[in-house]
Structure 1
Amino acid sequence: MTTVIEDIQKDAKQRMQKSVEALKSELVKIRTGRAHSSLLDHVTVEYYGAEVPVNQVANVSASDARTLLVTPFEKGMAPKIEKAIIQSDLGLNPASQGEVLRVPMPALNEERRKELVKVVRNEAEQARVAIRNVRRDANSDMKTLVKEKEITEDDQRRGEEQIQKLTDQFVAQVDEVLEQKEQELMAI
């Protein structure tokens, strides 16, 4: 009987973990003042009729703390990559130097930093909501099992306590990720 509850808990834990991972991947896209090669991960460029991420058609590296270096694998790709970076929502202006693109990171002013903190907090809240939705689904699965007399009400209560502990654990992880990103954004 408890294996059914364990399955529900295991599924809930995996889904909550995915929510935290999704938050982390979203926050990587939110730019701080530092250059980081993963900044261009979600920028796509047209390559032989298909949209592919920049990092699949070029080498992206940080040449220093404020500059990304983009070196295309093929000679004709530099203008396409430059256009894709300009059209992205990152607000970056690459400078072409022959076949190499230099992408300087503009310094963030105080107002922009505060805007980004609001965006980060919103992303974190969405992750918390997703985690709570997983908790609700797991608890509802347990109620269904009680109605079908597959588990006892005591089992249900114990299972719900475990799900709540998982929820608290993953919400704490979200808060930790949020705090790190806020500090990163506000650091000059």
Structure 2
Amino acid sequence: MTDEIEIDTDDLERRMKGAMDALRHEFASLRTGRASASMVEPIMVDAYGSPTPINQIGTVNVPEPRMVTINIWDKGLVSRAEKAIRDSGLGINPQLNGTIIMLPIPELNEERRRELTRVAAQYAEHARVAVRNVRRDGMDQIKKAKSSGMSEDDQKFWESAVQELTDKMIASVDKALEAKQAEIMQV
């Protein structure tokens, strides 16, 4: 056939990068013993009748390496925000000072560090699975294109392009996991 059939590798790459972005977001929510404003991002507070992210009802600051402060704008929401933090599973005991909620970050013990590295590994495995699913979609597109007239040489070219993209993304997932595990284990 004279018509060139192309596979949209840009779309596949965009979807694989989406999996990487999701992994980075999950890694940011893991507590590493250092204070980070992203630790409290997933916390939702029942404000004005609907669940609201905590960073939308107050200002989140990191004044020192082991402290996160949240300055709640509405006095009526302070107790709800405190309850949401306690119920979040962060393992941090909030302290109140007027409308400011202080979150002292305790030192992680060795057992908790190992547990967090296992959680990080699970997040990375989910990202790898997402990347492989995108690869499978790309390979399915190639099979459909072959049945509608793609040459065998073109098929091999596109398969190797998709596989190369997959290998590159898996390697970046592994590199991100290695860096996160090193950060968690750092005392």
Q: TM-score, normalised by structure 2?
A: 0.95
Report the Cα distance in structure 1 between the residues aligned to 2:80 and 2:5, rounded to whole angstroms. Answer: 54
Are residue 131 (structure 1) and residue 131 (structure 2) matched?
yes
* Unmatched 5+ stretches in structure 1: none
Aligned-partner residue type, residue 25 of structure 1? H
Are residue 26 (structure 1) and residue 14 (structure 2) matched?
no
Report the Cα distance in structure 1 between the residues aligned to 2:167 and 2:34, rounded to whole angstroms. Answer: 32
The equivalent of 2:170 in structure 1 is: 171
* Unmatched 5+ stretches in structure 2: none
Report the Cα distance in structure 1 between the residues aligned to 2:42 and 2:97, rounded to whole angstroms. Answer: 23
Report the Cα distance in structure 2 between the residues aligned to 1:152 and 1:58, rounded to whole angstroms. Answer: 59
CA shift, 1:4, in A, is 2.8
Report the Cα distance in structure 2 between the residues aligned to 1:33 and 1:140, rounded to whole angstroms. Answer: 44
CA shift, 1:127, in A, is 0.7
SS at match of 2:106: coil
The equivalent of 1:4 in structure 2 is: 6
**Aligned residue runs from structure 1 range 52-91, under 5 A:** 52-91=52-91
- Deviation per CA, 1:137-171, whole angstroms, max 9, x where unpaired? 1011101110121x212111100111111111111
Are residue 148 (structure 1) and residue 154 (structure 2) matched?
no
SS at match of 2:140: helix
Aligned-partner residue type, residue 172 of structure 2? Q
Identity within the alignment, %: 41
Structure 1 residue runs of 4 or more that deviate by more than 4 Å after TM superposition:
none
Q: Cα RMSD between the aligned structures?
A: 1.1
The equivalent of 2:157 in structure 1 is: 158
CA shift, 1:125, in A, is 1.2
CA shift, 1:178, in A, is 0.5
Aligned-partner residue type, residue 132 of structure 2? R
- Number of aligned residue pairs: 185
Report the Cα distance in structure 1 between the residues aligned to 2:177 and 2:185, rounded to whole angstroms. Answer: 12
CA shift, 1:119, in A, is 0.8
Aligned-partner residue type, residue 128 of structure 1? R
